[in-house]
Amino acid sequence: MKLKAEGNMLGALILILIVIIASGVVAGYLFLRGSQVENGASISITSAQATPLVNGQTYLTVSLVNTGSPGYVSVSVYSGGSQVFFAPGAPGLIYQFYYTPQIWVVPPEQPFYSASLSQGTTVSSNGLTWTAYTPPYTTPEVGTTQNVNGQNEPYVINNLQYGYTGGSPFPSASVPNPANALVAKEIGYAVVTQPTVFYIDDDDGGVIGMVPYSNAFTPETAWLGGTSNPANLINQWHGEGATAYSSPQVQPGVYLIEYDWFNGGGPAYFSLWSNNPVYYYHPVLLNTGQSITLFYTMPVSLTAGQNITVVAGIITPSGSASSSLEVVVT
């Protein structure tokens, strides 16, 4: 039987307006440049292009190079002085599995909150060693309707299971035997555009925390600050069969999010969805001299001849910087 636990409303935080501009979208090219540098941080847009999609959205490609200190990059689009799109990183949340060949274990949450997401990371706790065998995985930018434990749910972003119906199998490269104990750590950014409730249906347990996005450098080993997940959305770190829980209502804004989950052994379910669309991104750390091309599907429609501005930002431990290019949609 499914159970649901609901909390009270989470206070309104930073409002982000996603502006939908009527009419079709055609390819846009960039031709002017501006920049702002602070405390050794520096970023440059080398090229970008906007491409129309048949559904009225815009496919945006942005190429960047870090000309200053290492830091996290973001991309914004402005039209008529208003922000119409903001991505604090690359599309999708990023998550890692930590596996141990043991069974019937309830691991402490804190060591995994402070663990790196990189391949080869090991976490030692209570005489056991948990290993990340592969590079981390990435979710889609937006969830879709999927079968979660036998029921169709909207905007599903995670849906992996062993011993249940619905969902997909756990990846064998990271999880050699899904009946053994397993921990997942997932981090990134959530752009919430309307009041939204988050849901999980987990076996065994999970915690989800959120904090407001800010122009500050935050390492993946303390993604939400402190030494443990604040679990202010969902706090169910205990052993039980697949059970559904819901979060307090989250108001529109941009947030850092972390979802920590475990299975102590036997059947397992790892899932996350929401009642409204949420746009997910993950941090992109760009080292000095490193370049990258980012791809976005923007929920924005633009008209031919319209002027827009693409802005790339970088946040470093010592400061921030930005670079802009003007676009004429043609």
pLDDT per residue as tens digits for the range 259-307: 999 999 999 999 999 999 999 999 999 999 999 999 999 999 977 778 8
| DSSP symbol at 39 | T
* pLDDT for 159: 98
Residue 223: left (phi > 0), alpha (psi -120 to 50), or beta? alpha
Residue 8 has pLDDT above 80, yes or no: no
The encoded tokens of residue 307 equal: 């002027």
DSSP E strands in 172-252: the ranges are: 182-192, 198-202, 205-212, 234-236, 243-246
Among the listed ranges 48-52, 72-76, 231-235, 245-249, which one has the minimum average pLDDT value? 48-52
User: How far is it, in rounded angstroms, from Cα 181 to Cα 104?
Assistant: 7
pTM for the model:
0.87
Q: Contact at 8 Å (CB) between 95 and 136?
A: yes
User: How far is it, in rounded angstroms, from Cα 262 to Cα 97?
Assistant: 9
Q: What are phi and psi of 273, to 5 degrees?
A: -150, 180
User: How far is it, in rounded angstroms, from Cα 112 to Cα 163?
Assistant: 25
Q: Contact at 8 Å (CB) between 286 and 75?
A: no
Per the listing, tokens 């997910």 go with 280
Residue 113 has pLDDT above 90, yes or no: yes
- 50, amino acid identity: A
Alpha helical stretches, state H, the chain: 110-113
The encoded tokens of residue 32 equal: 């002017």
List, in sequence order, every residue forming a beta bridge with 296; answer none if it has no partner. Answer: 60
Residue 27 has pLDDT above 80, yes or no: no
The encoded tokens of residue 76 equal: 């914004």
For each of the domains in the chain, give its residue range(s) and CATH number, in order of start.
28-89+286-329 (2.60.40.10), 91-282 (2.60.120)
User: How far is it, in rounded angstroms, from Cα 89 to Cα 141?
Assistant: 11
* pLDDT for 219: 94
* pLDDT for 303: 77
Q: Taking CA 252 as the corner, what is the angle to CA 190 and CA 117, rounded to the nearest 5 degrees?
A: 15
* pLDDT for 39: 57
Give 6 or 191, the one with higher predicted confidence: 191
pLDDT tens sequence across 207-257: 999 999 998 899 999 999 999 999 999 999 999 999 999 999 999 999 999
User: How far is it, in rounded angstroms, from Cα 76 to Cα 144?
Assistant: 24
